[in-house]
Structure 1
């Protein structure tokens, strides 16, 4: 059994806790690790890191995680833990990744790397020069609906792809008469909120990997609901974009248009639906079917 020690930061947030800790790292642990082609088994051994010690300890006890700390510097100094994972706030990510890379850790993180292109490029170049393994979450590519579209593409079903249309959105309550499903910081610019920063990076790697490299993009962002209510029920100004209407030009001539919204009031079978039109045929798929 090969052990990989994983320093996990940001697991008190919704995505860090549900998607990355419970459904990924702990699920791998509970199934006895991952079996490699060689027959060797790899087991992940997480240490949970965060500023709120009480909350981190509570999560660790609930899920039988032996190690947790509020001292990120001490965690990064431990040579037995070789991988750093971050799902904290975007505004903190750049400095944390830089610190982890300089500590010699391999890094894997949520998207985006940063809220500025300059910092994102600097972090990527630092990782390359350090010679460490590094990656950013691109989870949508491996979901069943998009795997189906990839299969159709590879089979020649579409012929020449002409256009791609995507609709992303779900009913997000404002927080007044029904609790909001998304944290209030998502809707405040000063806290790094906004659907463009959060979601368009997903659509970029989906398009790049499934339908053709993106040559250019234009996007109109909108704040459709200017007032929302926070976790304490207090009204606040929502000044971040809660909807985005983007058009992408792909190499090969295809055009993709993707609408994204955290303000819609519709029910749908899937959070995202993609329609692909080609010279030979068309197909529609969601993320999960």
Structure 2
């Protein structure tokens, strides 16, 4: 989607947006898990980090960002009673546990470039090859088709054969 079709550059000059600024998807994974993914440059940030990944499972939830992670186990999840006439006083943020930082990680983009260049120089296989890129394009095209038709799209297995 393009939510902000008109924009202004650093000099204050108007231009029309030529690229989408948000993507939304619901994916059913092998094994039956369902993943909902939202990515938007137009959202107003109300989170701890610039990008966060929120995963809900049957035994709890995790939120992972660029610099930290926190978890909430199923048995520690608050059980609020919704009543529109009474203010909810539960501090939901306080019910999450920070995951200890046991290692320092590089910026993900930098790390992937370093891994790629090392693989190139040493002549070893790099796991994110042309086939991996093709799967990404396949997923994007299936998402667009699903958006146009309103139907679920199955992804066939890709191979170099």
User: If the TM-score is normalised by the length of the shorter chain, which range does it land in?
Assistant: 0.3 to 0.5
TM-score w.r.t. the length of structure 2 is 0.38
Name the structure, 1 or 2, with higher relative contact order (CA <8 Å, separation 6+).
Answer: 1
Structure (1 or 2) with the greater strand fraction: 1
TM-score w.r.t. the length of structure 1 is 0.22
